[in-house]
A and B are shown apart, each in its own frame.
Chain A
Amino acid sequence: MDDTDRRIMHATQAGLPLTPEPYQTLAEQLGLTKEEIMQRMAAMQTSGIIRRIGAVPNHYQLGYRFNGMTVWDVPDDKIDGLGQQVGQLPFVSHCYHRPRHLPAWPYNLFAMVHGKTQEEADGQIMQIAEVLGEYCRGRDVLYSTKILKKTGFRSA
């Protein structure tokens, strides 16, 4: 990733322009050609710098009011296999391994779930618990009660 790639990513941070030729609009802003922008975005997607290009839905506004950050304590030597299984569940939007901080924070596996009702979210959490089975040594769910700030890249 070079400076030109970075400029493209920053210029599209708030979204692609809603113009008939959005890459041409960007090209004029950045002093590049639309072909170069499309090529670079395709290359960044191939190399994994870009995960996907598309509409980024706002779950909360679409009726998903029960957005839970589920956190689990699973053995470190099992987390890779378990994390991949949890990450594949269709209702999980993010799934990460993060460090524990004992004794205050015993959890090492994070998975975001999204339900329209409490019951739906509870059902999703039960399905994660089933995947983890006997390896689940502890768990908690943290629901967001307020968005205090949300801008720019979704990146963590």
Chain B
Amino acid sequence: MLTDLHKHLLNDFQRDFPLSPTPYRDIADTLGVTETDVLAALAELNEQQFISRIGAVIPPNQIGASMLVAMAVPENELQRVADQISAFPEVNHNYEREHRFNVWFVAVAATVQQLQAVIERIEQQTGYAALRLPLVDDFFIDLGFKLDLQHA
């Protein structure tokens, strides 16, 4: 169950988190609560996985090279292939989606060459071809996402 404080923390601080020595106290002052309240509420949001973290969001390819990859894998092979892909430390997201291309993952490496090598290794290990979908252009101006928390 989300309190009003949880909801404010979720919606009002997706950007411009204070770069000050005591950011949680600054947030508390803005919201008219105590620093302890803010720290406790954020710990609760973390524990219940309502936030994945408080931190910096980085546009693609700012740190190293990354690529979105899709694979079309038969249902009876899906678990094996998904486990093999997820075992790669370079893979940081891996989703099953309803489509002929049903496995979608993001691989990240320090350089483009290393990234290509990782994807080739994944193809060899799994036995399936990778549909390579690198970023050509990013159109998103990320100001956070306005959450509807009325019934949350």
Contact = CB atoms under 8 A, between A and B. Distances in A.
A53 B54 CA distance: 7
A129 interface: no
A97 B49 CA distance: 30
Interface in A102-156: 104-105, 108, 110, 114, 116, 140, 142-156
B55 A15 contact: yes
Given A9-B63, A34-B21, A59-B145, 14 more contacts: A14-B55, A16-B17, A16-B23, A18-B39, A23-B23, A53-B55, A54-B14, A57-B145, A59-B147, A83-B139, A91-B145, A101-B131, A153-B58, A156-B66
A58 B81 CA distance: 26
B130 to A, nearest CB: 10
Nearest to B19: A38
24 contacts: A6-B63, A15-B54, A18-B24, A41-B56, A51-B57, A51-B58, A51-B142, A52-B144, A55-B9, A56-B54, A57-B14, A58-B52, A62-B152, A87-B139, A93-B145, A98-B135, A101-B131, A104-B101, A105-B101, A114-B145, A140-B99, A145-B98, A150-B94, A153-B92
A53 B56 CA distance: 4
Contacts of B124: none
Given A23-B21, A80-B137, A98-B136, A55 B56 contact: no
Interface of A: 1, 6, 9, 12-16, 18-24, 34, 38, 41-42, 44-45, 48-59, 61-63, 69, 79-80, 83-84, 86-88, 90-99, 101, 104-105, 108, 110, 114, 116, 140, 142-156
Interface residues of B, number: 79
Interface in B10-31: 10, 13-17, 19-25
Instruction: Kindly name the residue among B45, B49, B52, B56 whose own CB sees the greatest number of chain A CB atoms within 10 A.
Output: B56
Contact of A97 (B43, B52, B108, B135): B135
Contacts of B101: 104-105, 142
Given A38-B20, A52-B143, A152-B92, A58 B58 contact: no
Nearest to A143: B98
